Structure 1
């Protein structure tokens, strides 16, 4: 890149007549070998992998990044025809979020498998482990509804909230089933085991839910404050999941336990 001095820079005729070295050592005007025109262009040229690139950036507000990018891709594919040798690459935070979401979903499935194996090792039967895991869909119900009625966006903090729910919901199931087994060993009938065991474990289950829920309420209602972009979605998911898992756990798990063991008790 060459640049003339201040006296000659503003006059296109002077630029055209600027003398340069010719092939035979003589001086020739620049316009002999180049077309000198006045036009506009980028003040910088960016390159990546030896290819020129232009970055078009935007911020997203009120929606999740994934749906916005998908809509942009659809519109561009339908209405934009790129010149030859041009292509578009989509990148940014949504790309990292998509990768993180895949990782979290995979770890969620892995955590469910590990929880099942631990429960099977503890209770020595697939049936009891499966009954305890019934709490997971019960917790998911509240988490899904909390997302639906608040932001409507399944974000990474929300997925982390679901993973947290797995542990809390599983604990409630373990409290019930382990106490049921203890009462059966003490000679209680199946019906008395379910009734007495549910009464004994009602207070611990409610106290666990209330302790966690009361601590999460300030985070859930302060989602608009700076710094709560991560805590608030996670807190809302956990609160919704705690509500449904706690209420439904009191009724559904005892009923399933009773029905699954009824045939054995009548023998």
Structure 2
């Protein structure tokens, strides 16, 4: 959307933008909402002359409106015909409305009697827009581009490097509408959805493990899945779009599940089977690797037909499937390496913090005991 107060500069630049957009390969039709230019009657009041004769601009406008299109319906006289009323419309006939000399002689009410319209205004036949549209009280022209099956991000990127859109003239501004505007709103909503999802997963993990620290270890799988998703989009030539964002949200639950399987088994092995931390980590990786890989293969295999564009709308489903497959591959293999190592570091930090807290607590108790031992007893 192009906006500006100068209608001529706005239309001139919109025509240039429309012409350059047609040079982008692979797109469909490029249309503009600029109104067609049609002949119209231009009335320019002479305000000094009108003030001398006691004529206002609103009086001139009302005289022309009544003479050309008639008065408002609620102000029309009514002819009573039994059970119905017929409004009486009084205006010039078609031939008189097309005659400029007749319009110039229209009587306009003034302070000292009727005045001919040509005495207080200049009338000319000029060309002008058939319709004037505004956005936020500023004139605007919308330019629509059919994507032609290409991703929205590619078309928008190619359009923004055009000279007419990169270097805007003074008084003309550019903004996004339609799918481009929805894409920006979607990015904001997607960030809120991701944050909400991560918080919900964290709260569930806190209730499950009865711990506030180790659930953070599990959530690292979300970070491990993002590089694979982005790399898959890059290798396939796709862009980050709404379907790919939906795929990232789907990936959150799957990637988190792999970490839960590992960390949960480590906790059970240390708590119920008496294994030390290193043995519990190795045992968890050995026994949980098979279900993790099997789940990944099953999910990835189900997404392969979608990624190949078999069935449905490939332009919508393919990016989503590619993101899921790429994120699953990296999160699966990196989870078996990074999550156990990070669990060890986090556990070391927790043990160190507990030891420091216990030492300080014992030190305070000893100091409190010494103070009580050296306090003299008072006699009754």
Relative to its length, the structure with more helix (as a share) is 1
The aligned residue for residue 253 of structure 1 is: 339
Report the secondary structure of 2:331's partner residue. Answer: helix
The aligned residue for residue 124 of structure 1 is: 210
The aligned residue for residue 161 of structure 1 is: 247
Alignment deviations for residues 208-259 of structure 1 (CA, whole Å, 9 cap, x no partner): 2122212222222229x87343322222211111010011112222333356
Report the secondary structure of 2:208's partner residue. Answer: helix
How many Å apart are 1:172 and its aligned residue? 0.6
Report the secondary structure of 2:184's partner residue. Answer: helix
Relative to its length, the structure with more strand (as a share) is 2
How many Å apart are 1:105 and its aligned residue? 0.3
RMSD over aligned Cα, in angstroms?
3.7
Q: 1:188 to 1:47 in 2, by over 3 A?
A: closer
Q: How many residues align?
A: 253
Alignment equivalent of 2:327, drawn from 222, 241, 254: 241
Q: Is 2:169 aligned against 1:80? A: yes
Counterpart mapping for 1:1-40 below 5 A = 2=68, 14-18=99-103, 20-21=106-107, 23=109, 24=113, 34-40=121-127
Q: 1:53 to 1:261 in 2, by over 3 A?
A: closer
Q: Is 2:239 aligned against 1:150? A: no
Alignment equivalent of 2:288, drawn from 201, 218, 242: 201
The aligned residue for residue 175 of structure 2 is: 90
Alignment deviations for residues 103-153 of structure 1 (CA, whole Å, 9 cap, x no partner): 220221232233223222322334422221221111111112123333453
Q: 1:77 to 1:232 in 2, by over 3 A?
A: closer
2 CA distance for matches of 1:77 and 1:260? 50
2 CA distance for matches of 1:151 and 1:6? 62
Q: 1:117 to 1:73 in 2, by over 3 A?
A: farther
> TM-score, normalised to structure 1's length?
0.75
The aligned residue for residue 179 of structure 1 is: 265
Q: 1:54 to 1:79 in 2, by over 3 A?
A: closer
Contact 1:160–1:234 (8 Å) recurs in 2: yes
1 CA distance for matches of 2:185 and 2:320? 19
Q: 1:45 to 1:259 in 2, by over 3 A?
A: closer
2 CA distance for matches of 1:74 and 1:163? 37
The aligned residue for residue 49 of structure 2 is: none
User: Unpaired segments of 5 or more residues in structure 2?
Assistant: 1-64, 70-91, 352-380
2 CA distance for matches of 1:22 and 1:254? 91
2 CA distance for matches of 1:240 and 1:189? 35
> TM-score, normalised to structure 2's length?
0.55
2 CA distance for matches of 1:89 and 1:99? 17
The aligned residue for residue 111 of structure 1 is: 197
User: Unpaired segments of 5 or more residues in structure 1?
Assistant: none
The aligned residue for residue 211 of structure 1 is: 298
2 CA distance for matches of 1:48 and 1:75? 21
* Structure of larger gyration radius: 2
Answer with 202-211 or 113-122: which moved more.
Answer: 113-122
The aligned residue for residue 132 of structure 2 is: 45
Report the secondary structure of 1:229's partner residue. Answer: helix
Q: 1:118 to 1:203 in 2, by over 3 A?
A: same
